[in-house]
Amino acid sequence: MADFKLKPLYSADTIADTVRRLGEEITRDYQGEELLLVGILKGSFLFIADLCRRIDVPVTIDFMRLASYGSETQSSGIIEFRKDLEMSIRGKHVLIVEDIIDSGLTLQSLLHHLREREPASLKVCALIDKRARREVQMEADYVGLTMDDGFIIGYGLDYDERYRNLDGIYIAEMD
């Protein structure tokens, strides 16, 4: 088990305010449309649950599971598709819901994969945009919070499948 010092980064209240703002922006932009939210498991599960309740247009939800971290604190750069969508996205407005954009490699691979399925539109909503390790030109359409660098846990974000249940987001500083 890793020994961390947890340094608060974003409180539960800050996260709730951010999710509310994102929901308002998405509602405004998709007025009169149906929207398919695609949550990227496992990290986005809390975020998508809160976000969908803040969006006031008809939504459906599906999930994909990709992996690039393993038990490490940095992306391995190798993207694995572990669970695909259960519904077609052809002709649908699709919003990918990500917990964090880090290197951008996972998201770049995912966008390429989904564009081939001919959605009406394809956009990205990220709770956290971490820029320090960006390896590809990648911008989310909706960004909740930004940070420079550091390994973070909580609110769905994990270290070796643990700490997802924390209600805030913390920088995990190794002892």
- Catalytically active residues, by annotation: 102
CA dist 88 and 25 (Å) reads 25
CB atoms within 10 A of CB 52: 18
CA dist 93 and 3 (Å) reads 43
CA dist 21 and 41 (Å) reads 22
> Looking up tokens 């669970």, which residue turns up?
83
